[in-house]
Structure formats: C-alpha cells, structure tokens
Amino acid sequence: MGYKMFKYNDKVRIKNKQLKTYNFVGVVSSAGCSGCYVTFENGMCFYYKNQNLEHCKKNLEEEKMSITGDFKVAKVKFLEGSNTTATYEYALFDDYVVGAYVVVK
C-alpha cells in the first residue's frame, strides 16, 4: 500500500481513533518502511504502523496547547520573572474584566 514515509525527528500525530493515544503528538525516534517508534513528551515510546500517523502541520508546542470548547481567551503578560516580554494565552471559563490580574499555573 502507499503509506506515508516518516523520518527521524518528524513531528507526528496519531490519527487512528481506535488507539488510546489518538490525537497525541510526538516525535519519530526510529523509522522504517512499515512503521515508526514515536516518543512523546513524557518519554514514553510506542511503535505505530505508518497508516496510524500523520505529519503535524504546527510545531509541537502549539499542538500541546490545543484546546477545544466554549471559552474566551486571555492574553497574559507576566509582570515579573525572565519571560516578561512574551504573551501567553489561557482559556477562560469564567467571567472576567479586561485589565484584571489573573493567577495562572
């Protein structure tokens, strides 16, 4: 069959809905003609047939942060620390006021 080929360090998503790891994103740690070992952020590595995988279109950080549902997004800048120039996005499930201080993990 004409399954996609993957190579070492490709970012992939598990596309088979029958698998417990469905929609997980990982990195190919070893690749062959019919399958690949995929390593996830938690260090776990599993073997998948190539038809169960698809290339990721976004980078790994964006994939990990994907969230669905009915919510608003707060754009947050930290007041202190080493990352005060970056803007982060957090899902809000409660009411808020623009300019309010928020506590985030």
Can you tell me the mean pLDDT for 30-40? 89
- On whether the CB atoms of residues 26 and 40 are closer than 8 A, the answer is yes
Residue 79 CA to residue 93 CA, distance in Å, equals 23
Bridge partners of 53, per DSSP, are 14
Q: How is residue 86 written in tokens?
A: 């970056």
Cβ neighbours for 30, distance < 8 A, ≥ 6 positions apart? 8, 36, 37
Supply the Cα-derived Rg of the chain in whole angstroms: 18
The pTM assigned to this predicted structure is: 0.51
Which pLDDT score, from 0 to 100, does residue 36 have?
Answer: 92
Check pLDDT > 50 for residue 24: yes
**pLDDT tens figures, 48-102:** 999 999 998 755 455 455 556 666 777 888 888 877 888 887 777 777 777 777 7
